Amino acid sequence: MRLAAYCRVSTDHGEQLDSLENQKCFFQDFARLHHHELIRIYADEGISGKQLKKRDRFLQMLEDAKQGEFDAVAVKDIARFARNTLDFLTATRTLKRYGVVVLFVTNNMTTYGDSEFTLTIFGAIAQEESINTSKRVRFGKKINAQKGRVPNLVYGYVRQNLFTLQVDEGEAAVVRRVFQMVLDGYSMRRIASTLNAERIPTKKGCLWEERNLLRLLHNPLYKGVVVNHKSETRDVLEGTRMELPPEEWYSHIRPEYAIVDTAQFDAVQEELARRKAMHERETAAPPPRRHSSAHLFSNLLVCHACGAGFSRKRYRRKDGTREFWVCRKRDQGIAVTGGERCTNCSHVDEPALCAFLSAYFLQAIPDLGRFLERVGQEYSSRRKTGGQADSRHKWLHAESKRLRMARERLLTLYTNGLVSLEELKQRSAQNEAQRVQVEKELSGLEDDGHTGKTQSAWIRETALSVLSLEAMTNAGLRQVVGRIEIAAGEHARLFLHGIEGAVAEERSGALNRYRRKRRG
């Protein structure tokens, strides 16, 4: 008889894989003893028997049976075949329809159960055993969750045992960098692209994506809080899970695990919530707005007529390049209330908009000299107490150390013949370029950022460049400006955070100098 065999283990741990090898030897002995021709052994490693999905080798066995490649299938016991009674009966009936006999073999190498009633009883026993095992596992997990079980695999840490983590300083530096990049206005796509370009892998050695970045940023473990029991299995056989309300979570304060401080973690959560709310605000009129920090006024200009954001345009002209902003819905022809196109045809020149804001900032400061003096005092205070500069120092030192270690690992790989000479040269050049950049920035911070100038002159120059928006970033501007409403006729109203009502208006038409030139 042409015989196939099927075996399975539910985990990929070493002892289970040894069991899998024992099962294979068992079938070889069984075939030899009964003078069968063993055609193939189908084996699923690390797969649960409660469901057929993801059991690739089992499904392949059914397909091969349909093609008539063997006459019988030997399985050591019903639990190895399936732990779900419905799947068990469906599979045995399918094989029977293909003319394939299923042999359930006990340890003494005898077959049992060719009656469907008998097989149903054994299948139900296997299913009940699976359910009871699942209950015991869930109970043990719940007890460990109450005690403060730590995750198996989480970026930034190395697991020591069931309840202990150790901070991985190399990965922790990346975590701090990601949190700071969010506060600096970087989008998830830009952060992922940056990390992937620098060949910084995830914990599993994969590429960074928006999904795993958001999971990292929302994890309270990075501020020193271990949270367990956020979900539980709803149906053992189906494998579905249900989210639990926060009041049923188990939280444990572990300050030794903190990689970022609580204030920074909470600030990032607020920023992510703001981006999500902005995205959901326009879901009724796709495409929705997404967070962007590519330009100075990204996500700050709002159409007074329809509430949509403004899009940035850039045209080359004979007299130079023109950069201006227009209503996104009008520009894309998206219908608004009543099915009509937005009536706001304002074209706002970016340089004129910068001049409008800069003029407001300068006139809002009654004593510029006193203001610059206060800025100098605050700068000196932050330098003494650490602050962001100290945090940046720590990250740069950690990054420099990581690059040196990466170079050493690369040389080791080359020595062992795992990378070619060409790849060694290419990756070494990239490593050296990154190291030079880090050392240059580190040197600049250690020189206090104003080599060749007095500190007061450097502070004055820097502060004025910020007030004129020359050195301003989108993230910095969003900390001050809530929104800028643009109405028809290039009328602008400036709203600041925490202040009700507009603080400044521009109604002279100066925000579109090109249009004024044409009219003149």
pLDDT tens column, 500-515: 788 889 888 788 876 6
Cβ pair 428, 410 in contact under 8 A:
yes
What is the mean predicted confidence (pLDDT) over 17-38?
A: 80
**218 or 414: whose pLDDT is higher?**
218
pLDDT tens digits, residue range 90-108? 888 888 888 888 887 764 4
Indicate whether 210 pLDDT > 80. yes
Indicate the residue type of 278: M
Indicate whether 285 pLDDT > 70. no
pLDDT tens digits, residue range 45-80? 765 545 556 678 888 888 898 888 998 888 877 666
For residue 338, give the DSSP letter: G
Indicate whether 361 pLDDT > 60. yes
Q: Considering the entire predicted model, what is its pTM?
A: 0.45
| SS3 category, 242 | strand
pLDDT tens digits, residue range 336-360? 767 788 888 888 988 888 888 888 8
What is the mean predicted confidence (pLDDT) over 237-255?
A: 71
What is the mean predicted confidence (pLDDT) over 321-345?
A: 83
One DSSP character per residue, 269-318 reads HHHHHHHHHHHHTTTTSSSPP----SSTTTTTEEETTT-PBEEEEEEEET
pLDDT, mean over the chain: 76
Burial of 356 (0-12, 13-18, 19+ CB in 10 A): buried
At 112, the pLDDT band (50, 70, 90 cuts) reads very low
What is the mean predicted confidence (pLDDT) over 117-139?
A: 60
Separation of alpha carbons 489 and 510, rounded Å: 10
**pLDDT > 70 in the chain, percent:** 72
**pLDDT at residue 47, as a whole number:** 59
**pLDDT at residue 179, as a whole number:** 93
Indicate whether 329 pLDDT > 80. yes
Indicate whether 117 pLDDT > 60. no
Separation of alpha carbons 144 and 140, rounded Å: 6
Indicate whether 469 pLDDT > 90. no
Indicate whether 193 pLDDT > 70. yes
**pLDDT at residue 520, as a whole number:** 38
CA dist list (Å): 144 to 94, 234, 520:
42, 19, 77
pLDDT tens digits, residue range 118-127? 556 655 665 6
**pLDDT at residue 231, as a whole number:** 66
Indicate whether 26 pLDDT > 90. no
Query: Which of 74-88, 329-343, 353-367, 439-453 is least confident?
Result: 439-453
Separation of alpha carbons 170 and 161, rounded Å: 20
User: How crowded is the C-beta side of 62, counted as CA atoms within 13 Å?
Assistant: 15
**pLDDT at residue 178, as a whole number:** 93
Both tokens of residue 52? 């057929």
**pLDDT at residue 116, as a whole number:** 57
Q: Which residue has tokens 């706001």?
A: 344
Q: What strand order describes the sheet that includes 481-487?
A: 301-303, 481-487, 491-496, 504-506
**pLDDT at residue 290, as a whole number:** 52
Both tokens of residue 98? 């293909």
End-to-end CA distance of the chain: 98
**pLDDT at residue 137, as a whole number:** 61
What is the mean predicted confidence (pLDDT) over 20-25?
A: 77
